[in-house]
Amino acid sequence: MSTLQQRQQSRGLNCERASSGESIQPPIAAIAAIAAIAAIAAAAAVAAVATVATVATVAMTAPGAAATRVPPHARSTRLDLLSQRLGHDFTDRALLRQAMVHRSFLNENPSEALESNERMEFLGDAILDAVISRRLYDDYPSAAEGWLTEVRSLLVRNDTLADLAHACELGRYIVMGKGVEAQDGRNRPAILGRTFEAVLGAVYMDAGWPAVERVIFRALADQLQAIAIAGLERDPKSLLQQACQAEWHATPSYRTVEELGPAHEREFRVEVRVNGETLGDGEGHSKQAAEKAAAEVALRALPAGAIP
């Protein structure tokens, strides 16, 4: 069989795999992929957008296949798979491609036509903090600032994001330098977590705030539930509020009924009421501490089964 026939047969196999929905594996030999990009750059001067598309093509080519020969619909299938895993259909897929470009690739392959995902990571990090902060603020109106901060840090820490990246197999799509890849870069939590943040930045740039909220809440659904339950066990005010809303469709209110002692050793007594009825009272050296104590007393006084 001639070399030309072998190439045509290789291209045909890639087309068949793409059309049948079979996942085309990313290249194991990064050296071959980088050489293919260098050959393209030497052959012709390409525009920035075209170059970004070429890099994405290399990252999505099966081992041993010609990097520049992947049919357009095969590249589309790969991007579709990633979009489905993320839960967002990109209008501008160049944003998703850019979110996959790790700095190490540019260090080994300097090119003014390419940009790493670091700026998108910066944007995604800020958006993630804002989205989670607002969600916790809305869901737990009585929670203290310290508790909200603790829960948020658990949700947005790199280990959590790396787990989310693993779940959608993000590591398979990252374009990185051969040195980093040889050091198991596709499975390194730091790289995975930062790339996930870059993807969030890309989603926001593509479709705005509602879209990135959907992606975040979809990805963090289990973590939000688990951390919220664990956190509520330490936040009696939030737990009491949920119980009162479930039992009486009402929100508890807190009233300071007594202040004792000098200013530097003030003692507060607070009562908590629902629908005009006092459920309990508590004392503390601050109003917040007294409210928490009152909520704990009220929780113990609730009917069996009232606490969700």
Q: Which residues are catalytic?
A: 125, 197
CA pair distance 167, 186, nearest whole angstrom = 13
Alpha helices in 60-140 (DSSP H): 72-86, 93-99, 103-108, 118-139
CA pair distance 296, 281, nearest whole angstrom = 9
At position 199, the amino acid (one-letter code) is: V
Helix (H) or strand (E) holding 179: helix 178-182
Burial of 183-211, coded b for 16+ CB within 10 Å and e otherwise, reads eebbebeebbbbbbbbbbbbbbbbbeeeb
Phi, psi of 281 (to 5 degrees): -140, 160
CA pair distance 172, 189, nearest whole angstrom = 13
At position 42, the amino acid (one-letter code) is: A
Pick from 160, 159, 144: which is nearest to 224 by CA? 160
> 């009696």: which residue's tokens?
236
Q: Residue 128 to residues 98, 115, 220, 235: CA-CA distances in angstroms?
A: 19, 22, 11, 24
CA pair distance 47, 44, nearest whole angstrom = 10
Instruction: Please provide the size of the chain in residues.
Output: 308
CA pair distance 147, 233, nearest whole angstrom = 11
